[in-house]
Amino acid sequence: MPEQIKVLVVDDSSLVRKITTDILERDPEIKVVGTANNGKSAIFKNSKLDPDVITMDIEMPILDGLAALKYIVETNPKPVVMMSVLTQHGAEATFRALEYGAVDFIPKPSSMLSISVDEIAELLISKVKSAYKSRVRAAKKIVQAVKRPAEQEEAVTFTRDATSQKTVGIGTSTGGPSALIQVFKSLPEHFPSPVLVVQHMPEGFTKAFSERLDSVSRLRVKEAEDGDVVEPGCGYVAPGHSHMEMEVVYGKPRIHVYSGEKVSGHRPSIDVLFNSMAEHSGKETVAVIMTGMGKDGAEGILNIKNKGGATIAQDEETSVVYGMNKVAVQKGAINIEVPLHEIAKKIVEYI
């Protein structure tokens, strides 16, 4: 880390700019070098101040956050963390921003009334530090990597009555939403296995994110609910702030969603999902660990490999943050490491 991570805070509300600045500067490793109240000013100050990370509001006058993000990604790319309001419209705009090249997002402090100031501060600071670690893989490079049209086509198709005993589990964090959209877009029609997903994401956004995945995918995707029967051709996204695990009830796989202590620093935790899959689907598991800071999921995916399951990691080149997947590789937990655009193809091969 440098002496301090330089951050540009962009928001049309002076109150939100002050709250965000005060929170970030609690941490001695972070320095807010400037603020902007619209997208046009953000573009100018990005060039003038050369920040390491930008926090960006979406709805602003003169030039909104999405337009500013696209310009920054195309001309002078920096890691951008979007600040989103907790509404359906806000969530949809946030996921568009992630597809445009933002590395992560956080609910605006003013919209997070259900959690403490300390929790808001911890989340915001950790997101900025994660984004800083992604700086060597500029957003423009990531966007180009996930838009290779010829390589996104699935190599195998399934018939309507295709069956498989396999269950797929995917875990991801920073940089994950846009990467997951790419994977789900590339899974073929009549995919014969269920897909269980843990994406580290704040409470309130996972429902909108699952709807986004459903809209771009041939699978039926929903936010997981306790007691859901795990069915082929369906995707289940762990709800924010709750763990999700697989269990077997009367011989049928089901989903158990519950609140509990954080595991590996997270709730939902990828380790919780992967460990339950190792127990209940064992060698019939295909597990994927993708971009993200930290080590959540590395122990769980090693457990799956030790039970005979197939394990895949997203490679360093296409990861926004080569963290969780790096730890899994170092533990010897991975059968194969592939770029983002090959993950769906490799899942299909293992199925």
CATH 3.40.50.180 range(s) for the chain read 149-350
User: pLDDT above 70 covers what percent of the chain?
Assistant: 90
Report whether 212 contacts 198 (CB < 8 A). no
Distance CA 283, CA 323 (A): 25
- pTM reported for the whole predicted model: 0.86
Rounded mean pLDDT, 109-125: 72
Rounded mean pLDDT, 106-133: 78
Sheet with strand 80-84: strands edge to edge: 30-36, 5-10, 53-57, 80-84, 104-107
pLDDT of residue 250: 86
Under the banding of pLDDT at 50, 70 and 90, the label for residue 88 is: low
Report whether 345 contacts 152 (CB < 8 A). no
pLDDT in tens, 5-17: 999 999 999 999 9
Distance CA 184, CA 182 (A): 6
Report whether 228 contacts 255 (CB < 8 A). yes
Q: Is the CATH number of domain 149-350 3.40.50.180?
A: yes
Under the banding of pLDDT at 50, 70 and 90, the label for residue 111 is: low
CATH 3.40.50.2300 range(s) for the chain read 5-144
- Whole-number mean pLDDT of the chain? 89
Report whether 237 contacts 200 (CB < 8 A). no
Residue 47 has pLDDT above 60, yes or no: yes
How many angstroms separate the Cα of 323 from the Cα of each of 88, 90, 272, 315? 30, 28, 18, 10
- Amino acid found at 70: K
Residue 154 has pLDDT above 70, yes or no: no
pLDDT of residue 130: 86
Minimum mean pLDDT range among 13-22, 93-102, 239-248:
93-102
Under the banding of pLDDT at 50, 70 and 90, the label for residue 155 is: low
Please list the active-site residues: 173, 200, 296
pLDDT in tens, 258-272: 999 999 989 999 999
CA 303 vs. chain centroid, Å, equals 22
Distance CA 115, CA 81 (A): 20
Pick the CATH number of 5-144 from 3.40.50.2300, 3.40.50.720, 3.30.70.600, 1.20.58.220: 3.40.50.2300
pLDDT of residue 150: 40
pLDDT of residue 91: 79
Of residues 29, 45, 89, 37, the one with CA closest to residue 63: 37
H or E stretch at 336: strand 336-338
Minimum mean pLDDT range among 18-22, 91-95, 131-135, 237-241:
131-135
Distance CA 146, CA 180 (A): 11
